[in-house]
Amino acid sequence: MALLALYKMKQKYFLVIGGAVLLIVLLGIFLFFSQKENVSDQNIKPVNVKDLSSLMLSVEDFPQNEGWTLKDRAERGKTDVSDYGLSIGWKRGYLASYLRGDLKSENLDYSRVDLYVSEYPVENISLTLKTQESDNYTQYDSLSSPLIGDESKAYKVISVDEYGIESIYYQIEFRKSNLFYKLTIYGTRTDYDLLKELATKTEEKLK
Taking phi first (over 0 means left), then psi (-120 to 50 degrees means alpha), and beta for anything else, what does residue 12 get? alpha
Query: From first to last of its 207 residues, what are the pLDDT tens digits of the chain?
Result: 554 444 455 555 545 455 554 555 455 544 444 443 444 556 888 999 999 999 999 999 999 999 999 999 999 999 999 999 999 999 999 999 999 997 776 778 899 999 999 999 999 999 999 989 898 899 999 999 999 999 999 999 999 988 888 999 999 999 999 999 999 999 999 999 999 999 999 999 987
**Number of CB atoms found within 10 A of residue 193's CB:** 8
- Contact between 159 and 83 under an 8 Å Cβ cutoff? The reply is no
Length of the chain as a residue count: 207
Query: Global pTM?
Result: 0.78
CA distance 116 to 93: 7
**What is the chain's alpha carbon radius of gyration, rounded to the nearest angstrom?**
24
- Give the DSSP letter of residue 204: H
**CA separation, residue 85 to residues 69, 88, 138 (Å):** 29, 6, 19
Query: How far is the CA of 147 from the CAs of 70, 77, 127, 150, 186, in angstroms?
Result: 27, 29, 18, 8, 21
Q: b vs e for 110-149, b when ≥16 Cβ sit within 10 Å of the residue's Cβ?
A: ebbbbbbbbbbebeebbbbbeeeeeeeeebbeeeeebebb
63-78: per-residue pLDDT in tens?
A: 999 999 999 999 999 9
- DSSP character for 78? G
